[in-house]
């Protein structure tokens, strides 16, 4: 067994920190900063600048001395004009150290000024650059500069051969040679004996540190004697040097164990030999055309969403193979739009971009559809890059499965990208952190003379702990993956380090044009720039991928749905004898059965540009003679009244406030929980007659398992057009969220079909969807298919999806909209006069299922806020049952940043507020034991560039907004101080002045149920600075905006905002109880569903979302939507009336049950 090695770790730490070799390079390679290089081909200059032999270094650039000179550290045209001498060459790397950077921001610790410490690392000082700039500090012992004491008594045991470091009075210390050399007498003992360990006696050791100081002999740690060094140099090293950054310690508490040990924890970035790996993918481009079994070609005008100027197309002039090399070429077109056929093939229709016009056509190919994607390995692409302004070649990787969410949550790896007008630079980068706009990136450039004009091998070495980017096998950028990649903005998509770079990624090759990548250079000008394109193509010689034998990734091709009409096979309708009647409505009552059907109220319809408002009026939905009537009624102009707006079931695009010309009806079985997976659906109905009437019998997913429409599917049992009396339609929708959705359908002709009763049917089995009319098959879909469209992100992992989940039934009559494209435009005055029967009449609805497939009925409840008539009926539980788990008494001089993180943004809470939240001491400060959060008038204020870089919420590009006021908002989110259940108490005095809006609130730690307000919000305290006698409590819930819900109350208390009060929340499993000074002000019973009934239901049970952890937020906002009814904020008028524009907080305490 190993001995306790706490002290040995401390010893190793000395060499890790104070003799730190930055790059561990292979045989015959040297280090230059983070890079390894061959001295036969490159030279390392100051500032870790790596240049090819024959060139020189000037500041941050390499140059040819036959063409240029370096004068006063600047590059000028012409040879021999005052080149700086070779003394600028960094030679210290030959013994394993970096050179100090040219900023000379160092503190050197030797009397000769040869060695310095910069950024806590040793570096060699280039005297020709730095000698006049360094302020030598000899007043301190060198170790004090580094955070360790100086050895005071010279009563020390030193443990390094140079006598620099010692161990005195139980502590590591630096030896002051001027004081101690004359007194210090080294011990005759082996150094390790002075530290409590034996000396290696037999020199028969396997040493475990790179300096050969410590070994392992006869099952014990031991110190290696000097006379052993020649005998042990051939021993195999068993562990790499530890590089922990914690301070030295002499406590023997750390032990080595064999359980739950991350063996790679201390590994260094290493480029593995190709001999350790297997070639798992290679494309040498030896054929005449692109291999479509490997590469799929993207077709779209969106590109990467960076404002680029190309349409990616599948044209042979843009993507072709010549002389065993792939060419991807950008071609100026003046104006180009995708053809109708290309629009059908469009792979990404974001923002309806498949209809955009662009100047250029180009190519983008990927290995996605073929399933060639890898997790870890060595990627090598040999290529020559395009030359010309605003050409943007890329060799990069995207996630195969988007495990962590949409871009950039699931990551992006840019192996190489370049700008066509910069011939000596390429870049590498990664993107991560959260979904846009909460994403983040890290990047670094590599410089090599004329790099874009020659073939080079661009590489990625991807190990569990590192991403290493290379050019011609020379590393130029390394990413350590042993950390969290969350940006700190928006919801955190990750729960561990390395994510998202622990999943499979596929490869992409493309040439883009223009866009945000060039924002610091200028804007693309078609007429100016395209004539300067000397080589508008990327030429690829080969693509190769290697993996270690135990890490080879399985190839899983992606399938997409292809609708192939003309299939002769028509499945039979299963016999009803095998089925049981599980649902029926024969409409035998006088009114619609509300225990089965819920009525939709909205003016959005299905989002197809329809012209009706669906309403819950008896004239639109009624039963007569045992038949259901759903009737469209012309109104000229109709808007929902206030009561209907409160009941509105879908407020997309604020459509509940829209005016429409017709009212109609739409009912569904959703809330009653009548939803089915497989079975027979039969609806006997007569359809409406009249132009632009659009009846529908359809099914929508009960749970939206695969995402928003149409990812989770739609089944249209019947659609018809009121001006086509002889035709009906069947269809399904699927594939991805709009606009990346897909459609498959069929029209069926039958004489006078809309004017008679017919039985419209769906037979849904595991393998088929069979549509019928009067038991005659009209259309069928084979479900043994992938239903992804190939556009956007694939929401599915298997065949049959999304048609393997429960769907509920809907009946409605729409008016006009996108379904009538090609039939003209609805004209209210002309067309409604021709409506001869503007109603669908339904005789019955029956559903049958096989006995072993009968679906459980699970009603869906929605929240109906009801004011608490008697809050005192609730009780605040005794403190004796609770323990203090969190508190901040604000006793220091500054905000404790280990607890609180400060938000920086100009968005606020998205309520049209007028402040920018900033991290400035004038806005957030601690004084005399109180926290102050202060709003300060500024007139006009924009975040600085440094603040923009720290912006925590950039929704609608709001980090660039101008606001009138700065203020503060702090939270316990990043520190992880979040709670589910407990007592929260905040003692505070509120600000006074018009439109000041203080808040003590809680937001979800993990957004388990989706974006605001699906995952909830708890407002412990809100107030309005011009209303001194009232505070408010509230909760938010129900669905993402605008389908969110709210419940709250106001509490009257004389002069409440002008005195300190204790604002409280008691949160139990069953209730939220709000209080002021332990007096209950408002309460919410949590034993209910909090879905609003609008949009998609994010919940599956009662209490949700208030059954998850929430963190605390304190802030002072200014103005916004909360002041509706109080007038409009006027900066000049209102800020003059602010008598106390700050919230003063005495303490924050949280208690939870013992």
1005-1054 confidence digits (pLDDT tens): 988 898 899 999 999 999 999 999 999 999 999 988 888 888 998 898 88
pLDDT at 137: 47
Are 98 and 121 within 8 A, CB to CB?
yes
DSSP code for 767: S
Using CA atoms, how far apart are residues 806 and 478, in angstroms rounded to an integer? Answer: 48
Of 126 and 764, the one with more pLDDT: 764
Specify the pLDDT at position 772.
Answer: 97
- State the Cα–Cα distance between residues 310 and 149, nearest whole angstrom: 62
Higher per-residue pLDDT: 1034 or 65? 1034
830: confidence class by pLDDT, cuts 50, 70, 90? very high
pLDDT of residue 185: 46
Mean pLDDT of the chain: 84
pLDDT per residue as tens digits for the range 50-64: 777 767 777 767 776
Note the pLDDT of residue 869.
41
Over residues 386-393, the mean pLDDT reads 97
Distance CA 1106, CA 97 (A): 55
What proportions of the chain, in percent to the nearest 5, are helix, strand and coil? 10, 35, 50
- C-beta contacts of 1086-1091 below 8 A and 24+ residues apart: 1088/861, 1088/863, 1089/860, 1089/861, 1089/862, 1089/863, 1090/863, 1090/1016, 1090/1037, 1090/1038, 1090/1045, 1091/860, 1091/861, 1091/862, 1091/863, 1091/1038, 1091/1039
d(CA 1067, CA 1051): 19
CA distance 959 to 412: 24
Q: State residue 826's pLDDT score.
A: 96
CB atoms within 10 A of CB 569: 6
**Tokens encoding 493:** 């998509």
Q: Compute and round to an integer the Cα radius of gyration of the chain.
A: 36
Nearest Cα to 106, choosing from 94, 92, 95? 92
Q: List, for residues 252-290, the tens digit of each pLDDT value.
A: 222 223 222 333 443 578 788 999 999 999 999 999 999
**The pLDDT value given to residue 936:** 98
Q: How confident is the model at residue 73 (pLDDT cuts 50, 70, 90)?
A: confident
pLDDT at residue 234 tops 50: no
Quote the pLDDT of residue 256.
Answer: 27
Helix segments in 903-1057, DSSP class H: 945-949
What are 980's two structure tokens? 């589910």
Q: What are phi and psi of 1000, to 5 degrees?
A: -120, 110
pLDDT of residue 702: 94
Tens digits of per-residue pLDDT, 1084-1093? 999 999 988 8
- 317-340: average pLDDT: 97
Lookup: tokens for 74: 């600047």
- Measuring CA to CA, how many Å separate 342 from each of 346, 379, 993? 6, 32, 60
pLDDT at 843 over 50: yes
**Tokens at residue 428, please?**
């590498």
Q: Which is more confidently placed, 172 or 2?
A: 172
How, if at all, do strands 157-158 and 466-471 pair?
unpaired
Domains of the chain, first to last: 22-96 (no CATH), 274-291+364-551 (2.60.120.200), 578-600+620-640+664-851 (2.60.120.200), 882-892+923-938+965-1153 (2.60.120.200)
Q: What is the mean pLDDT of residues 957-961?
A: 91
Rounded mean pLDDT, 868-883? 71
CB count in 10 Å sphere of residue 308: 25
Token pair listed for 688: 């409406």
- Prior bond of 1148 cis (ω within 30°): no
Contact between 401 and 504 under an 8 Å Cβ cutoff? The reply is yes
> Distances from the Cα of 400 to the Cαs of 128, 375, 412, 707, 795, in angstroms?
52, 10, 11, 18, 11
Contact by Cβ (8 Å): 548, 272: yes
Helix (H, G, I), strand (E, B) or coil at 379: strand
Q: Which residue has the higher pLDDT, 1143 or 861?
A: 1143
Partner residues linked to 926 by β-bridges: 931
Contact 1043, 1095 (CB under 8 A): yes
Its pTM stands at: 0.56
DSSP state of 1058: G
Per-residue pLDDT band at 537 (split at 50, 70, 90): very high
CB 397 within 8 A of CB 428: no
CA dist 737 → 4, 563, 651 (Å): 57, 19, 18
* Other CB atoms within 10 Å distance of the CB of residue 74: 10
470-512 tens-digit pLDDT: 999 999 999 999 999 998 877 889 989 999 999 999 999 999 9
Q: In the block, which residue shows the tokens 């001089």?
A: 893
Q: Does the pLDDT at position 9 exceed 90?
A: no
pLDDT band at 782 (very low <50, low <70, confident <90, very high): very high
How far CA 547 is from CA of 268, 293, 428, in Å, comes to: 19, 21, 21
Instruction: Give yes or no for a contact between 977 and 901, defined as CB atoms under 8 angstroms apart.
Output: no
Is pLDDT at 109 greater than 60 in this prediction? no
* Residue 424: both structure tokens together: 């000596």
The DSSP symbol for 568 reads -
pLDDT at position 572 is 92
């Amino acid at each position: 067994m190993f001995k306790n090695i706490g002290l040995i770790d401390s010893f190793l730490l000395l060499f890790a920190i104070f003799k730190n070799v930055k790059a561990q390079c292979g045989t015959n390679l040297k280090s230059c900063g983070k890079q390894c290089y061959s001295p036969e081909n490159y030279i390392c200059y100051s500032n870790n600048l790596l240049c090819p032999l024959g060139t020189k270094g000037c500041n941050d650039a390499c140059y040819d001395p036959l063409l240029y000179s370096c004068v006063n550290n600047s590059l000028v045209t012409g040879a021999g004009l005052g080149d700086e001498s070779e003394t600028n060459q960094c030679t210290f790397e030959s013994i394993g150290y970096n050179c100090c950077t040219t900023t000379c921001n160092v503190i050197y610790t030797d009397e000769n000024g040869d060695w310095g410490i910069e950024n806590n690392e040793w570096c060699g000082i280039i005297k020709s650059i730095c000698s006049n700039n360094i302020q030598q500090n000899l007043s301190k012992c060198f170790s004090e500069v580094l955070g360790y004491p100086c050895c005071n008594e010279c009563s020390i045991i030193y443990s390094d051969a140079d006598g620099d470091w010692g161990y005195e009075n139980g502590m590591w210390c630096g030896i002051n040679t001027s004081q101690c050399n004359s007194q210090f007498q080294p011990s005759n003992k082996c150094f390790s004996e002075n530290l409590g360990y034996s000396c290696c006696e037999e020199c028969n050791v396997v040493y475990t540190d790179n300096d050969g100081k410590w070994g392992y002999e006869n099952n014990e740690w031991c110190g290696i004697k000097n006379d052993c060094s020649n005998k042990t140099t051939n021993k195999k090293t068993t562990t790499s040097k530890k590089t922990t950054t914690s301070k030295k310690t002499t406590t023997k508490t750390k032990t080595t164990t064999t359980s739950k040990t991350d063996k790679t924890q201390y590994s260094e970035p290493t480029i593995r030999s190709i001999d350790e790996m297997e070639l798992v993918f290679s494309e040498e481009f030896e054929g005449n055309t692109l291999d479509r079994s490997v590469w799929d070609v993207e077709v779209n005008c969106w590109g990467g969403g960076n404002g680029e100027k190309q349409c990616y197309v599948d044209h042979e002039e843009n993507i072709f193979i010549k002389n065993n090399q792939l060419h991807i070429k950008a071609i100026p077109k003046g104006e180009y739009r995708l053809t109708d056929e290309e629009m059908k093939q469009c792979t990404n229709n974001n923002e309806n971009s498949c209809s955009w016009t662009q100047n250029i056509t180009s190519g983008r190919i990927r290995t996605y559809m073929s399933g060639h994607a890898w997790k870890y390995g060595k990627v090598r692409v040999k290529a020559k890059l395009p030359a010309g302004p605003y050409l943007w070649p890329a060799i990069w990787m995207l996630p195969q499965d988007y495990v962590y969410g949409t871009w950039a949550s699931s990551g992006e790896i840019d192996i190489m990208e370049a700008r066509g007008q910069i011939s000596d630079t390429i870049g590498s980068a990664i993107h991560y952190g959260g979904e846009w706009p909460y994403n983040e990136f890290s990047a670094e450039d590599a410089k090599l003379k004329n790099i874009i004009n020659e073939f080079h091998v661009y590489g990625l070495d991807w190990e569990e702990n590192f991403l290493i980017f290379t050019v011609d096998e020379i590393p130029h950028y390394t990413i350590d993956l042993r950390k969290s990649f969350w940006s700190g903005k928006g919801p955190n998509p990750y729960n561990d380090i390395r994510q998202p770079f622990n999943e499979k990624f596929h490869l992409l090759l493309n040439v883009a044009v223009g866009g945000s990548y060039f924002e610091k250079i200028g804007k693309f000008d078609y007429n100016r720039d395209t004539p300067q394109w000397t080589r508008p193509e990327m030429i690829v010689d080969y693509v190769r991928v290697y993996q270690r034998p135990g890490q080879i990734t399985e190839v899983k091709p992606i399938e997409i749905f292809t609708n192939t009409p003309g299939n002769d096979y028509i499945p039979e309708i299963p016999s009803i004898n095998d089925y049981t009647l599980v649902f029926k409505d024969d409409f035998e009552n006088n009114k619609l059965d509300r225990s089965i059907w819920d009525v939709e109220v909205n003016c959005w319809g299905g989002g197809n540009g329809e012209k009706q408002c669906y309403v819950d009026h008896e004239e639109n939905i009624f039963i007569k003679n045992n038949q259901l009537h759903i009737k469209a009624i012309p109104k000229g102009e109709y808007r929902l009244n206030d009561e209907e707006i409160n009941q509105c079931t879908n407020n997309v695009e604020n459509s509940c406030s829209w005016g429409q010309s017709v009212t109609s009806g739409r009912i569904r079985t959703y809330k009653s929980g009548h939803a089915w997976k497989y079975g027979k659906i039969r609806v006997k109905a007569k359809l409406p007659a009249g132009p632009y009437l659009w009846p529908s019998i359809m099914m929508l997913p009960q749970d939206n398992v695969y995402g928003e429409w149409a990812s989770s599917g739609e089944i249209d049992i019947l659609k018809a057009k009121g001006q086509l009396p002889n035709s009906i339609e069947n269809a399904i929708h699927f594939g991805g969220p709009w606009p990346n959705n897909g459609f498959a359908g069929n029209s069926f002709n039958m004489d006078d079909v809309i004017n008679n009763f017919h039985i419209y049917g769906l037979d849904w089995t595991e393998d088929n969807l069979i549509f019928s009319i009067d038991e005659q098959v009209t259309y069928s879909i084979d479900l043994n298919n992938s239903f992804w469209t190939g556009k956007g992100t694939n929401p599915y992992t298997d065949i049959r999806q999304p048609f393997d989940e429960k769907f509920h039934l809907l009946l409605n009559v729409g008016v006009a909209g996108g379904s009538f494209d090609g039939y003209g435009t609805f004209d209210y005055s002309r067309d409604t006069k021709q409506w001869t029967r503007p109603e669908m009449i339904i005789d019955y609805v029956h559903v049958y299922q096989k006995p072993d497939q009968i679906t459980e009925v699970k009603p869906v409840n929605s929240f109906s806020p009801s004011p608490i008539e008697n809050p005192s009926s609730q009780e605040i539980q005794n403190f004796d049952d609770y323990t203090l788990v969190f508190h901040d008494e604000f006793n220091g001089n500054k905000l404790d940043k280990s607890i609180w993180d400060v938000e920086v943004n100009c968005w606020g809470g998205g309520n049209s507020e007028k402040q920018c939240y900033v991290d400035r001491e004038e806005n957030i400060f601690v004084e005399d034991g109180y926290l102050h959060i202060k709003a300060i008038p500024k007139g006009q204020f924009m975040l600085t560039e440094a603040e923009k870089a720290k912006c925590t919420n950039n929704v609608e590009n709001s980090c660039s907004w101008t606001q009138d006021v700065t203020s503060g908002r702090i939270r316990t989110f990043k520190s992880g101080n979040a709670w589910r259940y407990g007592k929260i108490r905040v003692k505070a005095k509120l600000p006074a002045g018009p439109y000041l809006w203080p808040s003590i609130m809680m937001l979800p730690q993990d957004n388990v149920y989706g974006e605001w307000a699906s995952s909830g919000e708890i407002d412990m305290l809100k107030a309005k600075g011009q209303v001194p006698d009232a505070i408010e409590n509230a909760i938010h819930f129900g669905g993402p905006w605008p389908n969110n819900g709210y419940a709250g109350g106001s509490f009257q208390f004389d002069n409440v905002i002008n005195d300190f009060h204790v604002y409280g929340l008691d949160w139990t499993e069953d209730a939220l109880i709000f209080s002021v000074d332990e007096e209950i002000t408002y309460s919410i019973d949590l034993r209910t569903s909090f879905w609003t009934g609008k949009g998609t239901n994010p919940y599956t049970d009662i209490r949700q979302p208030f059954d998850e952890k929430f963190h605390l937020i304190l802030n002072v906002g200014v103005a916004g939507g909360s002041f509706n009814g109080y007038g409009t904020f006027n900066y000049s008028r209102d800020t003059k009336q602010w008598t106390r524009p700050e919230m003063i907080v005495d303490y924050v305490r949280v208690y939870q049950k013992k």
